[in-house]
Structure 1
Amino acid sequence: MAAVDLEKPFDYVIVGGGTAGLVVANRLSEDSDVRVLVIEAGGDRTADPLVLCPGLVAGLYGKDEYDWNFTSPPQPSLNNRQIRQPRGKMLGGSSALNFLMLLYPSNANIDAWAALGNDGWDFDSLAPYFRKFATVHAPPQSAKDMVGITYHDETLAQGDGPIQVSFSEGYTVNNKAWMETFAQQGLSVTTDVRTGKALGAFQNQATIDPATKTRSYAASGYLTPEVRQRPNLVVLTETLVTKILFDTSSTEPVATGVEVLLSTKKTQTILANQEVILSAGTLQSPQLLELSGIGNPTLLSQHSIPCLVPNPGVGENVQDHPIVCQSFQVLPDTPSGDVLRDPALLQSLVGLYTSSAGAGPLGQSVISVAYSPLVDSSGILSPSAKSAIFAPHEESLKSSPAQSHVRKLLESSQDEAAFQYLLFPTQISIPAAPKAMTDYILPVLPDNYLTIMTILNHPFSRGSVHITSSDPTQKPLWDPKYNSHELDLELLARGVQFVERLVAPETPLGKLLEQKLDGKAAEAGKSRLPEIVATDLDKAKEIVRQRQISVFHVAGSCAMLPRGKGGVVDSRLRVYGVKALRVVDASVIPLEPLGNIQSVVYALAERAADLIKEDRNGR
């Protein structure tokens, strides 16, 4: 990179070159009169085959050059296990190391954002931005033949956005059986999930470029060679922002720039004429606010940081989708990704991928999905059964507007997905103290497995993330406080009970699995992980305690809410109590969206860019 004059002020300084930050950088720098700087703590890995090849994602986790690799304190509700949380540490952020799944939220889910006090953040207002970020490719005939996809609405596949979205061609009898099994439970998707109204099993799209079979993510889509050539856009990598700078001479402090630690270990001040835009992610945007004096005064004083703006909401309201991973041994002729434990086979497939334009399974994503209402061992719950679950928590839920909205979504809505189920092609292991995400996904058992994952889409529990030091090089402490609201465990256990219906011997999916001859043999657990079967609610709860981890959708730590309700930013994403400072990333999400959240982050960032442009132009 050519030498950059960092002494000359920029119009916008964007802290974080991740999923949201690069969207904003691209859109703001479309105006040649606006000078934009992106500062990324990680490196530029846009040519790295581990990032680009979908099937090599396991090679990214736990390595300093790719992954911040957060870990939680022991979680009391999970048998005191620690949980790992990978976060992207490179251009593209977590879009560079996720599992490439693209899903969409529901109408009611997003409408709840607006109902919490955020005008203009309803589903209809955000819908154009879901189209803007993506180019959606039609499913190939092979995919239609194997898994149907009759619900894919070509009239919705509009837009020519930077992110390439496609279906794969490697779906197998496993995916087909998944669709058929849910259909037997009355859960067949009949409408395109992008409409915001869908329940049932479906084949999700993935952020894979179908022409190259490579990962399509924020860095490849929004920071193309053409965009990088813009003279008004500067991207600074391997540079750590240590704090935000303010002019405190007026009544309300004004953000004027940032202090950074360059790769040379030199400290540098960089000024912003218009705004500082914080896009460091759910776990690190609140860290920078606290290091800069915005946060809970008690916490700041503990670390000798002068309090500029007292706001105890900073770093609170953290939400994450809990996911319970149950692995089932497959019959000898059932496909399983566990065969890739063989180094020779893996090397052969890498050779095929590199020599044949992305051919073979390493260029595909074959995870299948289902959206489900509240269910248990009996199937879909009746309205009275749902009410009976929530009734004991009536008073506690009334005290929180957000939790009241969650209850309404789950109890009253007829088409809201309480659970998301995933069919994952390999075994999942759950060590008590994993070193990285890799410890979960690399096969450790000699037999071959599939994993059914149960995700609670709308958790009631709230965690936190806060600094533990005034040293900006020290990671903040993320404590998800999983199942701290007892309803989460109650609901997850029922979702796990439903899995028993999916794997029963008579279902299409069950016919692909090793089955036991009697209940006693089943309790021995020879064909599944863990060695417990959800024959009742208590056993299902123990499976949650043993097998729940994170599905890596952390959000909410700088929530977009009224200030008096714990908000950190307003509905234009401006930080309360200061001027010229915004937050644009998943941390502003006030209520966790259902499904994998990358589509929501892209759409949010696209809309944020428009808001910033409007404010600059006085509209």
Structure 2
Amino acid sequence: MAAVDLEKPFDYVVVGGGTAGLVIANRLSENSDVRVLVIEAGADRSSDPLVLCPGLVAGLYGKDEYDWNFTSTPQPTLNNRVINQARGKMLGGSSALNFLMLLYPSKGNIDAWAALGNEGWDFDSLAPYLRKFATVHTPPQSSKDLCGLTYHNEDLAKGDGPIHVTFSEGYNVTNQAWLKTFAGQGLEVTTDPRDGRALGAFQNQASIDPVTHTRSFAATGYYNPEVAKRSNLVVLTETLVEKIVFDTTGDEPVATGVEILTKDGEKKQISANLEVILSAGTLQSPQILELSGIGSKDILEKHNIPVIVENPSVGENVQDHPIVCQSFEVADTTPSGDVLRDPNVLNALVGMYQASGAGPLGQSTISVAYSPLVDSSGIVSPEAKKELLASHEHTLTTPDAQAIRKLVESSDEATFQFLLFPTQVSIPDVPKSMAEYILPVLPENYITVMTILNHPFSRGSVHISSPDVHAAPVWDPKYNSNLLDMELLARGVEFVERLVDKSTPFGKLLKDGGKRQPEGLVATDLEKAKEIVRKRQISVFHVSGSCAMKPREQGGVVDARLRVYGTKRLRVVDASVFPLEPVGNIQSVVYAVAEKAADLIKEDRKSL
């Protein structure tokens, strides 16, 4: 890349070249009169085979060149275990190391965002952006044959966005049995999940390019070679933003640029004529705000950081989908990804993939199910649901909690997301990285059923531990700190016993009398189910909410146009602004929010 004049002001400075940041940069730089700079702490790995090959994702985790590799504080409700949180440290951010799952939020879920005081953020307003980011490809015949896909609505598949969305070729009897087993529980999907209403098991799509069988993510989609040629778009990699710079001479502090640390260790200031847009992610956007003097007075003063805007909500309101992973030994004839522990098998599949993109390494075969509240008896009755929620009423006093309560009470909304994961999962007390969760260490072959709570009531935090930008922030998710989360999760774990019962199509694929993880624990009652949660719950890597979009007096950090309260010319655009955790995997919502944000920024430029 030619030398860039960093002395000349940019119009927009985007802090973080991740999933959201590259969307913003792409859309703003469509106007050749606008000069845009993206600053990314990681490198450009968009041609790295480990990043591009879907089946080699485990090779990214815990490596400094790819992964920030955060670790939580010990969690009291999880036997004081610490939880790993992989975050992408490269161009494309976490879209470069996620599991490629493309799911969509529910209508009630996003409508709740608007109801919390965010005008323009209802489902119908966001829906066009949920289409805009993607090019959705027609399912191959093999997918239709194995998974039905009768609910797939081609009218919702229009779009020519940068991210490729596909069904894989590699589904097998486990996916088929999964779908049939949920149908037997009264949970068969009849409507396309992308339309905002869906309960039951379905085959989700993945962010994979069907031609090249490679990961389709923000760096390859929104910063492709054609976009990279734009003379008005500059992307600086391996560069840290130390803080946002403000002009504090007026009524409100005005963001005028950023202070950076180059990869050569040189400090520089870069000016922004119009706006600074913070897209560093849920764990690092609040870190940068705090390092810049925006946050809790107590925290800032503790680290000798001058207070520019006092807002104790910065870094609070953190939400994350808890996920409980139960692994079951499979019958000898049942496929399991655990066969990849054999180097000969892995090398053969790598060779197949390198030759033509063929085989399992270019596919994603995880299956999904959405369900209302369920337990050992199946779908929980409305009366029993209300009784459970009423018993925790004293903890449900905030607008957030009331909104979630309404979603859990609804017969149309998914309290749980269940995942069929093709390999074993291990849960060490102190994992070195996410790879320790998913690399097979047990000699038997397993598949894993995962139980996710879509709408956790618990709220965590993330705050700076030091005025040094190199020091990782302290992330405390406070899982199950609202005890209702534990009650709900345990009931989901009880329901898993219905799925793996040997009378079901799914149960028939498991080894009769085979091992299970956690070993020796069967959810025959609620207390045993809670013990399984304590032993086997981790994060599903959907952290959000730390710079929440809501009214300031209700804990908001940004307004409905994503502008940081108490400042001018500063926005946050990433998952940290989500007021409530969306249903399912959040990749689609991050893209959609960023697309909508780009339009808001363009609109506001006209009034400057």
TM over 0.5: yes
Equivalent residues in 2 for 1:400-419, closer than 5 Å: 400-411=398-409, 413-419=410-416
Q: Which residue of 2 aligns with 1:585?
A: 574
Structure 2 CA distance for aligned equivalents of residues 166 and 443 of structure 1: 27
3-state SS of paired residue (2:418): strand
**C-alpha deviation, 1:528, in angstroms:** 4.1
Equivalent residues in 2 for 1:205-604, closer than 5 Å: 205-356=205-356, 358-397=357-396, 399-411=397-409, 413-516=410-513, 526-604=515-593
3-state SS of paired residue (1:549): strand
Structure 1 CA distance for aligned equivalents of residues 575 and 272 of structure 2: 23
Percent identity, aligned pairs only, is: 75
Task: Give the TM-score normalised by the residue count of structure 1.
Answer: 0.98
Structure 1 CA distance for aligned equivalents of residues 360 and 62 of structure 2: 24
3-state SS of paired residue (1:451): strand
3-state SS of paired residue (1:38): strand
3-state SS of paired residue (1:594): coil
Structure 2 CA distance for aligned equivalents of residues 226 and 505 of structure 1: 54
Structure 2 CA distance for aligned equivalents of residues 71 and 155 of structure 1: 42
Task: Give the TM-score normalised by the residue count of structure 2.
Answer: 0.99
3-state SS of paired residue (1:470): coil
Equivalent residues in 2 for 1:47-126, closer than 5 Å: 47-126=47-126
Structure 2 CA distance for aligned equivalents of residues 14 and 527 of structure 1: 47
Structure 1 CA distance for aligned equivalents of residues 67 and 2 of structure 2: 27
Q: Which residue of 1 aligns with 2:147?
A: 147
Unaligned runs of 5+ in 2: none
Aligned residues: CA RMSD? 0.8
Structure 2 CA distance for aligned equivalents of residues 393 and 354 of structure 1: 54
Q: Which residue of 1 aligns with 2:189?
A: 189
**C-alpha deviation, 1:395, in angstroms:** 2.7
8 Å contact from structure 1 (residues 118, 560) kept in 2: yes
Q: Which amino acid aligns with 1:433?
A: V
Structure 1 CA distance for aligned equivalents of residues 520 and 320 of structure 2: 26
Q: Which residue of 2 aligns with 1:618?
A: 607
- For these two proteins, the number of residue pairs brought into alignment is 608
C-alpha offsets along residues 450-507 of structure 1, whole Å, 9 cap, x if unaligned? 0000000000000000001000111101110000000000000000000000000100
Q: Which amino acid aligns with 1:590?
A: P
**C-alpha deviation, 1:414, in angstroms:** 1.3
Structure 2 CA distance for aligned equivalents of residues 92 and 44 of structure 1: 8
Structure 2 CA distance for aligned equivalents of residues 186 and 75 of structure 1: 35
Q: Which residue of 2 aligns with 1:521?
A: none
507-516 or 463-472, which moves further after superposition?
507-516
Q: Which amino acid aligns with 1:211?
A: V
Structure 1 CA distance for aligned equivalents of residues 339 and 482 of structure 2: 39
After superposing on structure 2, the runs of 4+ consecutive aligned residues of structure 1 that deviate more than 4 Å are none
6-15 or 340-349, which moves further after superposition?
340-349
3-state SS of paired residue (1:287): helix
**C-alpha deviation, 1:527, in angstroms:** 3.9
C-alpha offsets along residues 358-406 of structure 1, whole Å, 9 cap, x if unaligned? 1000000000000000000000000011011111112321x20001000
Structure 2 CA distance for aligned equivalents of residues 388 and 118 of structure 1: 31
8 Å contact from structure 2 (residues 45, 90) kept in 1: yes
8 Å contact from structure 2 (residues 326, 517) kept in 1: yes
C-alpha offsets along residues 243-301 of structure 1, whole Å, 9 cap, x if unaligned? 00000111111000000000110001000000000000000000000000000001100
Structure 2 CA distance for aligned equivalents of residues 123 and 531 of structure 1: 44
Are 1:134 and 2:131 counterparts? no
**C-alpha deviation, 1:514, in angstroms:** 1.4
Q: Which amino acid aligns with 2:385?
A: K
8 Å contact from structure 2 (residues 328, 515) kept in 1: no
Structure 1 CA distance for aligned equivalents of residues 517 and 505 of structure 2: 17
Structure 2 CA distance for aligned equivalents of residues 210 and 73 of structure 1: 40
Structure 1 CA distance for aligned equivalents of residues 551 and 38 of structure 2: 29
C-alpha offsets along residues 85-123 of structure 1, whole Å, 9 cap, x if unaligned? 000000000000000000011000000000000000000
Structure 2 CA distance for aligned equivalents of residues 394 and 528 of structure 1: 34
8 Å contact from structure 1 (residues 328, 529) kept in 2: no
Structure 2 CA distance for aligned equivalents of residues 529 and 474 of structure 1: 35
C-alpha offsets along residues 430-459 of structure 1, whole Å, 9 cap, x if unaligned? 000000000000001001000000000000
8 Å contact from structure 1 (residues 327, 530) kept in 2: no
Structure 2 CA distance for aligned equivalents of residues 286 and 454 of structure 1: 29
